[in-house]
Structure 1
Amino acid sequence: MAQDEPKIRVEHLDMAYGSFTVMNDLNFEVNKGEVFIIMGGSGCGKSTLLKHLIGIKEPARGEIFYDGKNFTSADDDVKKDMLKGFGVTYQGGALWSSMTLAENVGLPLGEYTNLKPKEIREVASYKLSLVGLRGFEDFYPSEISGGMCKRAGLARAMALDPDVLFFDEPSAGLDPISSRLLDDLILELRDSLGATFVVVTHELASIFAIADRAIFLDAKTRYQLEVGNPVQMRDHSEFETVRNFLMRGELADASAATDIG
């Protein structure tokens, strides 16, 4: 594998549901150890792209590579082995309500390792401690806050020590303080674990706080308009749609000031 091989490479990806095309000809790379944001307005296909990246949905056309290895065309055994290197968190945390946090985190360990129950418990406790939930091993999801459920979902995603972590709207439903704490946690884990993070979000605060680079999907044209650093895109993009998306807060403030005046 080449030294500079990207962690993820997407080539000529078309996404579709039957005859309806969601996105055409996506081409981008995600570098090792970076936080990469998938952003765009409602209905542009952000979550659909995530489903393609983790193998839940097959491309209508195109290929996805991990460390130079073709994920799209890999046979079932190879693909299953590659999937062990992925960790995924979903919008609501997707925790089993009838299981404690430790049991939720231990699920993939019981499925994919030969660890004994006591060892699984120890690993689960360690993963929960990494996300600030030490001492909550025996709590049920209904007994903790939404932000804590998100963190517990992250602990479960890290159970098998993946080198790529995927997040689908991690800040959805959280108050600003909890959202910022989750952003800080993502950066801490990126720095300490060296993992690559792919995050679907439309939250500007999170985009500017954690993103190294981002891709903007445009629902109107059904193409990617731009890939780059969000601050640079906000300030210098040639596309008005991209600039407006990334300046929503400033535009809203200006409009409010005009109304008051």
Structure 2
Amino acid sequence: MPASPPAPQTAAAAAAPAAAQARVSVREVTMAYGSFVVMKDLTFDIQAQDIFVIMGGSGCGKSTLLRHLIGLREPARGQVFYDGENFTAADDEGREKFIRRFGVMYQSGALWSSLTLAENIALPLQEFTPLSAKDIRDLAAYKLALVGLSGYEDYYPSQVSGGMNKRAGIARAMALDPDILFLDEPGAGLDPLSSRRLDDLILRLRDSLGSTVVIVTHELASIFAIANNSVFLDTETRTLGAVGNPSELRDHSDNPNVRRFLNRGAESESPVSSS
């Protein structure tokens, strides 16, 4: 069972996280828009090869937390570490080195509509590697094959289904062989079968490539199918409601908001008493 989050640290202690072996360490992070605090005092760890879910109700700050993790927003307070190194305090050059280790799939897939699927995957390779045009084409085809899209290299995003666009978005996120994949609502808008196939793909990629996967989602089926670790953002307290394996939290969390979130629909699925 995942360890409990460490106690809040002083600024001096934060310079050397207790769990330096963790792939990602979040320490005392407060997220805010101006004077409005979204979440406060977030402290948790993501281990290597976790499939880690950020979950909670609508408007709790799930996508905002993801943006803090990848450097698109700065914490109002607190720090984020990668493999024990301080990402928050890094200068622009240092940040760039961290970011090269990330792969990000945004909620819609965010593919360029005027480019083919292969050309979308090729973009980061053209920008950040010295590979030849032929090697880039071959690598783009390989990444598409990994997500089950072999043969669709020359299709445009408008010519394939929503689920295929999501898979192509994951292929682009994997283009530079990142250590960590960040996926923002990968199953949003998909039918149950497509969503299940996407869950299976995420598991295969984690197992075959050894990647750490961080997912923003509120989809219970996906949460229970693939996540081994998670955080629940509690809108009532504006802080962490729980940290741990979602299946265990569903039954054993001492936070009623966590149990209510993870047991949504359970009552309607239970047999109706005849009494």
Distance, in Å, in 2 between the alignment partners of 1:217 and 1:140 is 37
TM-score normalised per structure 1: 0.96
**CA deviations over 1:167-209 (Å, ceiling 9, x no partner):** 0000000000000000000000000000000000000000000
Shift of 1:252: 2.9
Equivalent AA in structure 2 for residue 49 of structure 1: L
Letter in 2 for 1:133: L
Counterparts of residues 74-93 of structure 1 (less than 5 Å): 74-93=90-109
Cα deviations by residue, 1:119-140 (Å, 9 ceiling, x for unpaired) = 1111100000000000100000
Counterpart in the other structure of 1:211: 227
Q: Which runs of 4+ in 1 moved over 3 A?
A: 1-4
CA distance in 2, matches of 1:219, 1:199: 19
Q: Which residue of 1 aligns with 2:202?
A: 186
CA displacement 1:97-133 (0-9 Å, x = unmatched): 0000000000100111111211111110000000000
User: Structure 2: which amino acid aligns with 1:137?
Assistant: E
* Partners of 1:21 and 1:62 in 2: CA distance: 13
Residue 46 of structure 1 is matched in structure 2 by 62
Which segment drifts farther, 2-11 or 48-57?
2-11
Deviation digits for residues 1-42 of structure 1 (CA, Å, limit 9, x no counterpart): 999700000000000001100000000000001100000001
The separation in 2 between residues aligned to 1:82 and 1:23, in whole angstroms, is 24
- With 107-116 and 149-158 compared, the bigger mean Cα shift is at 107-116
Q: 1:135 aligns with which of 151, 157, 169?
A: 151
1:68-147 paired onto structure 2 within 5 Å: 68-147=84-163
The answer to whether the Cα contact below 8 Å between 2:121 and 2:175 also exists between their aligned partners in 1 is yes
For 2:78, give the aligned amino acid: G
Does residue 30 (structure 1) correspond to residue 46 (structure 2)? The answer is: yes
Partner of 1:162: 178
Normalised by the length of structure 2, the TM-score is 0.91
Q: For residues 82 and 4 of structure 1, what CA distance do their matches in structure 2 show?
A: 16
SS of alignment partner, residue 248 of structure 1 = coil
Q: Percent identity?
A: 62
- Equivalent in the alignment of 2:242: 226
Q: Distance in 1 between matches of 2:267 and 2:123?
A: 45
* 1:238 corresponds to: 254
For the Cα contact (< 8 Å) 2:51–2:228, is it kept in 1?
yes
**Secondary structure of residue in 2 paired with 1:137:** coil
Tell me the matched-pair count: 259
Closer, same or farther: CA 37–3 of 1 in aligned 2, 3 Å? closer
- Cα deviation for residue 220 of structure 1 reads 1.6
User: Aligned partners of 2:247, 2:164: CA distance in 1, in Å?
Assistant: 30
